[in-house]
Chains A and B, each alone.
Chain A
Amino acid sequence: MTAWTEPAGPDDAVDGVVPALVARPSSVAEVQAEVRTAAAAGRALVVAGRGAHLAIGAPPRRLDVLLRLDRLDRVLAHEAADMTVTVEAGCPLDRLARALAAARQWLPLDPPHPEATTVGGLVATNLSGPLRASQGTVRDLLLGLRVVGADGALVAGGGRVVKNVAGYDLPKLHVGALGTVGVIVEATFKVRPRFACEEAVVIACPDARSAAEAAIAVRDAAEPLWLEAAGAGVVGDRATVVAGLGGLAEEVAEGRSAVLAVAAARGLEAIAVADGAGLRTRLGAFPLEPAAAVLRAAVLPLDVGEALDAVEATARAQRARVRWVAHASCGIVRVAVEEAAAVATLVAALRPRVAAREGTFVVERAAAAVKRGLDVWGDVGGGLGLMRRLKAAFDPAGTFAPGRFVGGL
């Protein structure tokens, strides 16, 4: 036991696995000490920020210490004129957003629940939201990382400048890696100017397939800031396409006309919504609404309609209630399933169909009981051998979240 550790309680469980200790270090040096101690003792660590996204991943094979980084929460350097920000891993995104807003800037990544999502969690889980349609994902905005490795060494990768090809792009190793190859303690991002205006247009559609098709037409006509398709019951009582428009008032007006014209040409009702950012937040928060599981398919953009048809048909056959939202132009479909009992059947039915169209299908998050006996990741294909070698090279003793990641890594 150290000054920053205490016995864990049931609330500290990760997918039902309760650790012995919770560590809440206040400095990078304390994180390094904790990792060294754990590695020497053969203990397994799972890193957490504020715990909002711990339902992502497979249950840990072993868990001794929950390493909470919420005390490492400073914005270290916001260089507004350089459009970069360096921030500690435990800083929640809403606080980071406030710091950036002072200079009319933002980090245009909009995962659900920014107040409960830390920078480290954002990177480790590769969370995204509607803005990815035009702004990219973590990998596109991350410039540098500091990471504590399995030997306790502090390793820097990348840098603080917006363009940099010196050496390997080590930060990429940690994006979406669920903390299985190191503990992220600090990140540097490029930031962007905020848009003067953000509006949205909602198009009501008769069904999922027509919503997916209308979304692609909107993409080609207006190149919107973000572009979601949503099933009945998410935005209205019908399926909808929701297009976000950002920029100067003139740009937004031009985009609005273009989107409305697409709707009119298809004989679909459409309305403009002034509070585009509010609607985007609602759509982005969707996956955390109460559900036994959130499933996530990644398909080609033109295959979204077919994927949605398959989801709805399978759910009907199972008498399962599902709601869905898609980042339509990115080909990302998220499905919230209410009945725990239906999850395994849905996964078994949909995964091969999506795979047959070059897609992937994962259980994005689920209650611990639902995950039991379920392969949350599915087959990752050609790179698994290299991934095993990577894990062995960067975490030879299996200190970091063993079993949480793809292929049991």
Chain B
Amino acid sequence: MPAPLTARLRALLGADGVVDRPEALAVYECDGYTLARAAPEVVVLPRTPAEVATVLRLLAEEGVAFVPRGAGTGLSGGTLPVAAPVMVCTSRLRQIERIDVGNRRIVAQAGVVNQWITDAVRAHGLCYAPDPSSQPACTIGGNVAENSGGPHTLKYGVTTNHVLGVELVLASGEVARLGAMVEDRPGYDLTGLVVGAEGTFGIVTRATLRLVRVPAAWRTLLAVFASVDAASEAVSAIIGAGIVPAALEMMDRLIVGAVEAAYHVGLPANAGAVLLVEIDGPAAGLDPQAAEVEAVCHARGATEVRRARDEAERAALWKCRKRAFGAVGRLAPNYCTQDGVVPRTRVPDVMRAIAAAAERHRLRIGNVFHAGDGNIHPILLFDEHDRDEVARVLAAGREILEACVALGGSLTGEHGIGIEKAGQMPLLFSPEDLLAMTRLRATFDPEGRANPHKIFPDAKVCVETRTPRRQAAL
């Protein structure tokens, strides 16, 4: 990267807006996916959407590639710089620019943290629905790039269902205002294409989001089963009864044991699986539905069904789920979270495939996941000092994803392809499908300078694979 360019960036953004000392760059060498690392040559920290556009125009003049980054909580290595000397961080774009309570809209800059949106409107009885577990840290820009989900997406949908418009700075530096405050904008759904494009179309600097009403009431239940199969049958039976829970989460034996050891919430340590079920909506319908969930769980062999009696008990039940990753930290020095999807009726099959992979590779694998969506999150435990075990973790992860695809599912439900799964895209898509995607990419970024070498399998990846550190929770 040409030295004059760094000087021009510094002139534009000030000394605190450009990072290029090697020791300071180490912070940026990976995101939540720690199995591959590479530091950028320069990190820039623009303060406004206009500065992002100016930076990209400069890079366009020099033909330099870049990688966008928000809070760095991504789990597929989407912000790993690969043949991209400049990292553009949107974390200083922190303004909530407009709150429209009556119309249930909010306009936020890319660096606004997911949780801040709900915090800003909760007093009005509204919230921003997508709730990835990293929501206290992850940014709206990153959520838009990854089309993030979370436990409550079963009923409320993922990021794309809540984004009405974005401001996108193309790699050329051109600013495109896509979508609108209103619905049904005529023309191609460019906003819908940008959401989930993993930063390969440019950098999103602003997003117009929908707000939804906080549900009037909840019922939260926890059901204990002897086996994952029995719990899976209960999941199908709940859905089959015509109930759409707000969340339907499963934890297997290993996770339940870890949670109980860590938090002493009174879960039977020998439980084969635990389901966490939350239903929400108008108060009148909840008790009949909760009673039906209880009946269904008992009919499928639940040994115990608890119903939270108040908000404190509800919080305690959710604590088991949300802190499961912390609990796992007690079981092994390191862990790696996978993300795959199967049709929800195939959950028992994929659980068997995961168990088989664990046995084949002599690994311990726990499961805590969005059962209602068929979105699995196997947690592979390992010790980073054991190079052979690290290799077995990577192999088992690949095999689990192959099993997902073979069962009619997908390589990723909410973490993205990034660098991690680019090589496996041909499992899911034909050459014609991939050609259509590259054609789409070239429409937005003909020179391929926005987050190059991500998503597509032809990536000539040349990154240092170092000893991994502990990987962040989903």
A binding-site residues for B, Cβ under 8 Å = 79-84, 104, 126, 136-137, 139-140, 149, 153-157, 159-170, 172-173, 175-177, 181, 192-194, 196, 216, 220, 223, 247-248, 250-251, 253-255, 296, 298-302, 330-332, 358-360, 362, 377-378, 380-387, 389-390, 393-394, 405-407
Contacts and interface: CB of A to CB of B under 8 A. Distances in A.
A1 to B, nearest CB: 28
B239 A163 contact: no
Contacts of B180: 298, 358, 360, 381
B443 A393 contact: yes
5 contacts: A137-B184, A154-B432, A166-B412, A362-B186, A407-B187
B149 interface: yes
A299 B102 CA distance: 13
Nearest to A407: B187
Given A80-B240, A82-B343, A196-B242, 18 more contacts: A157-B433, A159-B341, A162-B374, A163-B414, A165-B410, A167-B429, A167-B433, A168-B193, A169-B160, A169-B196, A170-B437, A170-B440, A194-B242, A254-B285, A255-B282, A298-B183, A390-B443, A405-B187
B224 interface: no
B197 A168 contact: yes
A166 B289 CA distance: 34
A120 B178 CA distance: 25
Given A156-B430, A163-B414, A393-B443, A380 B182 contact: no
Nearest to B179: A383
Nearest to B190: A383
B192 A139 contact: yes
A360 B417 CA distance: 35
Given A193-B242, A394-B439, A299 B182 contact: yes
Interface string B34-55: 0000000000000000000000
Contacts of B102: 216, 301-302
A274 B153 CA distance: 32
B374 A383 contact: no
Contact of A81 (B176, B236, B441): B236
B95 interface: no
B440 A161 contact: no
A149 B432 CA distance: 10
B189 A79 contact: no
Contact of B412 (A139, A156, A160, A164): A164
A167 B455 contact: yes
Interface string B217-252: 000000000000000000010011011100000000
A165 B147 contact: yes
A46 to B, nearest CB: 18
A166 B240 contact: no
B279 to A, nearest CB: 11
B285 A247 contact: yes
B166 to A, nearest CB: 10
Nearest to B281: A251
A156 B343 CA distance: 18
B143 to A, nearest CB: 11
B417 A166 contact: yes
Contact of A377 (B146, B186, B197): B186
Contact of A254 (B284, B289, B435): B284
B405 to A, nearest CB: 9
Contact of B370 (A104, A163, A377, A382): A163
A161 B443 contact: no
A81 B345 contact: yes
B182 A360 contact: yes
B103 to A, nearest CB: 5
B344 interface: yes
B186 A406 contact: yes
Given A168-B196, A170-B436, A161 B410 contact: yes
B428 A360 contact: no
A255 B216 CA distance: 12
Contacts of B345: 79, 81-82
B203 to A, nearest CB: 15
Nearest to A250: B284
Given A136-B157, A166-B425, A82 B344 contact: yes
A139 B190 CA distance: 12
A251 B333 CA distance: 49
B288 interface: yes
Given A79-B343, A155-B433, A250 B182 contact: no
Given A163-B413, A166-B410, A169-B195, A248 B288 contact: yes
Contacts of A177: 188
Contacts of B414: 163, 165
B412 A247 contact: no
Contacts of B195: 169
A202 B440 CA distance: 47
B173 interface: no
Interface residues of B, number: 84
A180 to B, nearest CB: 9
A60 B441 CA distance: 28
A222 to B, nearest CB: 8
B288 A163 contact: no
B213 to A, nearest CB: 6
A173 B374 contact: no
A331 B432 contact: no
B341 A163 contact: yes
A136 B161 contact: yes
A251 B284 contact: yes
Contact of A300 (B182, B416, B444): B182
A387 B190 contact: yes
Contacts of B455: 167-168
B408 interface: yes
Contacts of B459: none
B158 interface: yes
Nearest to A381: B177
A77 to B, nearest CB: 10
Contacts of A83: 239, 344
Contacts of A378: 186
Contacts of A393: 439-440, 442-443
Given A165-B196, A168-B193, A380 B374 contact: no
Contacts of B434: 167
Contacts of B343: 79, 82, 84, 160-161
B182 A359 contact: yes
A254 B288 CA distance: 14
3 closest A-B pairs (Cβ-Cβ)?
A: A172-B192, A193-B242, A251-B285
For A126, A331, A382, the residue with the greatest tally of chain B CB atoms inside 10 Å of its CB is A382
Interface string B367-378: 000100111000
Contact of A382 (B161, B177, B236, B342): B177
B282 A193 contact: no
Interface in B395-442: 408-417, 421, 425, 428-430, 432-437, 439-442
A80 B243 CA distance: 13
Contacts of B244: 192-193
B368 to A, nearest CB: 16
A84 B346 CA distance: 13
A302 B432 contact: no
B18 to A, nearest CB: 30
Contacts of A163: 149, 153, 158, 341, 370, 373-375, 410, 413-414
A253 B186 CA distance: 38
B184 A298 contact: yes
Contact of B415 (A79, A157, A165): A165
B282 A254 contact: yes
Given A161-B408, A168-B193, A254 B242 contact: no
A254 B239 CA distance: 24
Given A82-B344, A161-B342, A193-B244, A167 B417 contact: yes
